[in-house]
Every structure is written in structure tokens, then in C-alpha cells.
Structure 1
């Protein structure tokens, strides 16, 4: 499981850098300043959660069941949250109206919040003797 989490974290990190560069150089002239800021928010949250997965995948303080839950919550959460933000920010460039699926953005955000809560609960359960 650790290897899968670390690979996913690396892929999400690489994609964050690529999407950030694309926004700064490729989208700058094509979308509004506000839409560009929105797109960059999606990139930031993707990178934050790539780093979270790097930590989770390499930590001995996180139980296997928590690792699995966090992994899947972060993946689905990022697809819903950052993915919908990317679509909404570039809505004027596509023929699909991403505003029609904008309701999934907060669902993705909630999944990301739950992943952090699971991590917190996992840490609260650690016996102080094990630290």
C-alpha cells in the first residue's frame, strides 16, 4: 500500500507542477484573471494533498486502514475538488458547461477534510509510549 500511495503522490505532484506552469504560461492570455486565480487554487490544493500522501505513505505512525482510507478519500476528493475547479476556471474555453457539475466541488472538499480528520484520529490513538 505504501508504494501505491507514494507513486500516486509523485504523480499528483508532477501534475501539479505541469498544471501550474500551464496556467501561468498557456492560460494567462485565454482566461480572466479571476479564472486564473481559481485554477491556481485547484493546483495548490492538489500539491498540498500530494505532500499529504507522501507523508502518509512514508509514515510508520499511520495505520494501514487509515492509510487506505486517506488514500482513496484524497484521490476521489482531488478529482472532485481540483478537477471541477480546473473545469470551472476554463469553462469559457470548452463546449461543456462545467457549471452544471459545480456542485461536486464542495463534495470533493468535504472528502479532503475527512481525510485530514482520519489522520488526526489516527494520531490521537497513538500511545505515547510508541513515540
Structure 2
């Protein structure tokens, strides 16, 4: 996958993270319980961190030779945002706590992405 794809995806994810953070702070503040608002904030926080990680993957992809580990890192970060943050957004809006059971899968994807970056760093 190309550097351009990771830079584009990281930028879109960053844009969405800022928008969803503002939505939570303004539109949801009066509608969610403090506990569910904290869940929303956690989703936004990890969403934004991994948008930045995708930008890093894109920048590294421009500087380094093609690497399966770098591609895997990008895929893991991108899917991790969808699963981790997505499940927390859904939990916050619906109040359905069972959605929290999906969240650790996203967390494992984040960990795998960071492990892939460790591999990239060791090989470069």
C-alpha cells in the first residue's frame, strides 16, 4: 500500500476525530451520562492517537523501502480505530454495554500495529 493511502487515511481519521470530539463536547454533553461521556472521550483519544500513527506510517513509507511490516502496521492501526473507537462510539450512543466486548479486539490491533513498527525500526 502506498504512502499516499496512509497519509490520506490518517488525515481523514484525524479530521473525524476532531469532529467527533467536538460533537461529544457540545452535542452529547447534556445527553450522555458522565460515564458514557468518558467512554466517548476515550474513543476520541485513541482515534486521534492512531490517526497520527497512520500519518507516521505514511511518512515512513515515503522514506523506507517497501515493507510488509509497515503495511501491516497501517492496516492494524486503521482497523483498530474502526473496532476500538467504533465500538466505544456505538456503546456511548446506544448504552448497550455488550459492545464493550468488541473493544479489546481493537486494542489488540493497536498493539499489533505498534509491534509492527518496532519490527520496522529494528530492520531499518
The TM-score with structure 1 as length reference comes to: 0.86
Structure 1 match to 2:110? 112
Structure 2 match to 1:45? 46
Q: Deviations over 1:93-121 (max 9, x none)?
A: xxxxx433332100110011110011012
Is residue 22 of structure 1 aligned with residue 23 of structure 2?
A: yes
The answer (yes or no) to whether the contact 2:10–2:54 under 8 Å persists in 1 is yes
What is the CA RMSD across the aligned residues, in angstroms? 1.4
The answer (yes or no) to whether the contact 1:84–1:101 under 8 Å persists in 2 is yes
The TM-score with structure 2 as length reference comes to: 0.90
**Runs of at least 5 residues in structure 2 that lack an aligned partner in the other structure:** none
**Runs of at least 5 residues in structure 1 that lack an aligned partner in the other structure:** 93-97, 127-131
Query: How far, CA to CA, are the matches of 2:20 and 2:42 in structure 1?
Result: 11
Query: How far, CA to CA, are the matches of 1:121 and 1:68 in structure 2?
Result: 12
Structure 2 match to 1:70? 73
Query: How many residue pairs get matched?
Result: 121
Moved more, 57-66 or 47-56: 57-66
Change (3 A) 1:24 1:62: farther
